[in-house]
Amino acid sequence: MGVGILVEDLNAWYGTNHTLQDINLHIPANHATALIGPSGCGKSTFVRCLNRMHETNPIARATGVVRMGEVDIYKDASPVEIRRRVGMVFQRPNPFPTMSIYDNVVSGLKLNGFRNRRILDETVERSLKQAALWEEVKDDLKKKSGASLSGGQQQRMCIARALAVDPEVLLMDEPASALDPVSTSKIEDLIFQLKSQYTIVIVTHNMQQAARVAENTGFFLNGKMVEFDSTHKIFTNPKDKRTEDYITGRFG
Amino acid sequence: MDFQTRSMRLNNIRRTAANYFISGLSILATIVVILPLIAILFYLVYKGASSLNFAFFTHIPAPVGEQGGGMANSIVGSGIILTLASLMGIPIGIAAGVYLAEFGRGKPLATAVRFTADVLNGVPSIVMGISVYSLIVVRQNHFSALAGGVALAIMMVPTITRTTEEMLATVPHAIREAALGLGVPKWRTAISVSLRTASPGIITGCMLAFARVAGETAPLLFTAFGNQFWSLKLTEPIAALPLQIYVYAISPYDEWHRLAWAGALVLIVLIMVSVTLVRIFANRGVLKGGS
């Protein structure tokens, strides 16, 4: 089951560039939350702060409190522990090219030393079914490289890979922006089904996508969160003039 | 209209001509590069093949004045020295490359290691021989196969280190992020993801380094020393193909000159065979559609 995320006074920097400024936000458990905003507004940086991927860049740093359930992820846990509880799907599908489909899906388990064959088999089937990819690949699991699949299939495999480690939160950084419309709608269907079990945070450039999949939406601009509300409210009756300008296409 | 089509036709002719010209130049350059290699190989076969017989692979060198004899001890000796060199040089070289590419980014130690590797790459092989001579041979008071292996290993390290670093740099950052995002520790990501993805290029680098030192004579003169008799001991002087070829080639006897040619042919063929075998072995288990 998913957990809620509470963010207090989160600030982040790349070098001297202050990319996130005083973000305060509560992301409810087992819901999909969309983050929208123009390029460079800090929304990607924000999700990367939620699993401490931000700090893999040597010039990046972050301050503030991010509470995942009871855990303060910057104080109570190591980055490695946090990333096992928080799955991440990236903008471009990034399968491990040397691994089979099977090994790609259970890579999170195998690379952490887990070897029980029966459980690995079960995990592969469960995760691929959750990602709606099982029927398409079940005959080639160990024969084909993960990189041999189409872009849309690769992205669903990456979602299966993230789900295989049984996370509580799923972060998706523009997961459909490199995909065609058919693959995109498959990914959106998936998000719709998965949010009953996981807390999902999805960054998107596509406002229709946010409207379709998310209960809540946050609007980011220049490193600040301008507005956070129910998706319906953001798109029909935003409080802030800047949000209204953005969703009506007057800039960005 | 008429003018336009004519200028287009002229353009077309010019473009086609330029295409043929540049393609021709590329083919010519390729031939210029490959021709000497083929010439050397043919010349070796021409000069050496006639002296190759069963005894060449089973006998040790005959004493001066006697006919026949072979290079069995040199072939085995080269095998031993190269195995030692690979066992020492390849792990150290790859480990250093992994450090440079995955952990040392922007650190002063990495800059120092990189600089040292580049300098080491340029050190003449005879200097490497003398260094190992004073470090190992002088202390042990005798020449040995081990000293030869160490000398060749040191020569392999810089090539392997730099190739490993370069190959790791071609691994997309997104793949590392995928592993880190799954909660895989950094060291495990470096070994099981980055290194594995880059392995075809790294294997090529190791093979290049291996092939290069396999033909080295100078570093062995002061270390392995050579041996006219059978010796498989790592602590004793040992025969090696390049050394034996060298000794025979500068001798005054025609019979030995012929044997030197045969030895050179065997050396090249053995290098080609081992490199090919490693390639075939490394390509097994590569999946369909992978890279």
ipTM reported for the complex, 2 dp: 0.89
Predicted confidence (pLDDT) at residue B111 exceeds the cutoff of 60 = yes
Give a yes or no: residue B220 inside a domain: yes
* Co-location of B161 and B31 in the same domain: no
Same domain, yes or no: B64 and B47: no
Instruction: Report the percent of chain B where pLDDT is more than 90.
Output: 73
Nearest of B277, B24, B233, B222 to residue B145 by alpha carbon: B233
Range of the domain at B21: 2-51
For A55-90, write each residue's pLDDT tens digit. 988 899 999 999 998 899 999 989 999 999 999 999
Domain span holding position A240: 5-96+169-247
What is the mean predicted confidence (pLDDT) over A189-203?
Answer: 92
Whether residue B105 sits in one domain with residue B43: no
Whether residue B186 sits in one domain with residue B45: no
Q: Classify residue A85: in a domain, yes or no.
A: yes
Output DSSP code: residue A28.
-
Name which of A53, A85, A95 is nearest B180 (Cβ-Cβ): A53
**Contact: B106, A143; criterion CB under 8 Å:** no
Residue in the block written with tokens 């490693």: B278
Is B100 contained in some domain?
yes
Our count of domains for chain A comes to 1
In chain A, which residues have their Cβ closer than 8 Å to the Cβ of B184? 80, 107-108, 111-112
pLDDT of residue B117 exceeding 90, the answer is yes
CATH code, domain carrying A42: 3.40.50.300
Asked if A100 reaches chain B (Cβ–Cβ under 8 Å), the answer is: yes
Residue B166 lies in a domain: yes
Residues B97 and B46 in one domain: no
**pLDDT-derived band at B51, boundaries 50, 70, 90:** confident
Question: Do residues B73 and B39 both lie within one domain?
Answer: no
B30, B139: one domain? no
Q: Could you say which residues from 158 to 177 on chain A have a Cβ atom under 8 Å away from some Cβ of chain B?
A: 158, 161-162, 165
pLDDT score, position B179: 95
Mean pLDDT taken over chain B: 91
Q: B237 and B122 in one domain?
A: yes
Q: Note whether B47 and B64 are same-domain residues.
A: no
Same domain, B124 and B166: yes
In a domain, A234, yes or no: yes
Does the beta-carbon distance from A58 to B105 stay under 8 Å?
yes
> Per-residue pLDDT tens for B185-228?
999 999 999 999 999 999 999 999 999 999 999 999 999 988 88
Q: How many other C-beta atoms lie within 10 A of the C-beta of residue A180?
A: 11
- Classify residue B115: in a domain, yes or no: yes
Cβ A12 vs Cβ A62: under 8 Å: yes
How many domains, chain B? 2
The residue of A47, A78, A89, A94 whose CB has the most chain B CBs within 10 angstroms, and thus the best one to mutate to test that interface, is A94
> Would A74 be classed as within a structural domain?
yes
* Euclidean distance between CA atoms B112 and B117, whole angstroms: 9
Task: Report if residue B291 sits inside a domain.
Answer: no
Nearest chain B Cα to A105, which residue?
B182
In a domain, B290, yes or no: no
Residues B8 and B132 in one domain: no
In a domain, B147, yes or no: yes
Residues from chain B that touch A50, judged by Cβ atoms under 8 A, are none
pLDDT band at B9 (very low <50, low <70, confident <90, very high): confident
On whether residue A153 sits in a domain, the answer given is: no
Q: Write down the pLDDT at residue A3.
A: 87
Task: Pick B179's closest partner by Cβ from A81, A97, A111.
Answer: A111
